[in-house]
Amino acid sequence: MNIKFIVMVSDSLERINNVKLLQNEIPDLFIYDTDNDDVFQKFINCFNVEDRYDGLVILEDDILLCKDFYSKINSIIHENRKDIISFFEKPNSTKPLSTKHNKGYEFLYNQCNYYPIEYCSLVNNNNTISEFKSSYFAKNKVWSAPTDTYISFVLDKHNIKYLMKLPFLVQHLPFKSTLGNRSSKRQTKHFIDDIWQEQ
């Protein structure tokens, strides 16, 4: 399979340095510079995927990759190639989690997700974008980059489930948020490297 990997990076020095680490682990990683300028639209632009690719992995710039990440994620995608796959979510959850298909409206967090090519056009659809903006931004004028909320909207609109794959292949790093005063304590207890160390 030919998967396109994109990381969205802001102008934060610690995030720029972290993306360099991601580059060392992911061959041909595409770097998309957001500079906090219309992050929402730039996220949608990532779904303009060329026909030569079978799917898309979008990463954020504040993640730690597990050991042998590239091999592991490609193996999981190959086994679940028709599913949208979440490789990180539910930080701070103390409840037992397991691999399962969740309803689209439950989708949350964009740290690391895979999208089969056939779903990219659903996300990058002008009518859907307009519908979402008219419903969301009218109520939430402060939060300007609801990218995961938008994916949830798209999946729910089309009655699509996604696969939450455990254990998670990435960990959320405690970087200061570039999009507002949000807590940096959003780490998961289900990161694969941490689980292996405990065994």
Kindly state the tokens that stand for 144: 């300007």
pLDDT at 118 exceeding the cut of 90: yes
Please state which architecture CATH assigns to domain 3-198. Alpha-Beta Complex (3.90)
Kindly state the tokens that stand for 53: 């690719």
Mean pLDDT calculated for residue range 164-193: 78
Mean pLDDT calculated for residue range 155-173: 96
Kindly state the tokens that stand for 55: 């799917």
pLDDT at 138 exceeding the cut of 70: no
What is the reported pLDDT for 199?
A: 42
Rounded Cα distance, 89 and 171, in Å? 9
* Domains of the chain, residue spans: 3-198
The DSSP element (H or E) to which 18 belongs, if any, is helix 13-25
Residue 27, CB-side half-sphere exposure with 13 Å CA sphere: 7
Kindly state the tokens that stand for 23: 């580059």
Angle at 151 between CA 101 and CA 85, to 5 degrees: 35
The DSSP element (H or E) to which 8 belongs, if any, is strand 3-9
In percent, how much of the chain has pLDDT > 90?
67
Kindly state the tokens that stand for 149: 């909320």
Residue 6, CB-side half-sphere exposure with 13 Å CA sphere: 21
What is the reported pLDDT for 36?
A: 57
Instruction: Read off the pLDDT band of 141 (50, 70, 90).
Output: low
In percent, how much of the chain has pLDDT > 70?
86
- Higher pLDDT: 101 or 177? It is 101
CA diameter of the chain = 49
Instruction: Read off the pLDDT band of 26 (50, 70, 90).
Output: very high
What is the reported pLDDT for 78?
A: 97
Provide the b/e sequence for 168-186 (b: ≥16 CB within 10 Å). Answer: bbbbbbebeebeeeeeeeb
Mean pLDDT calculated for residue range 8-32: 92
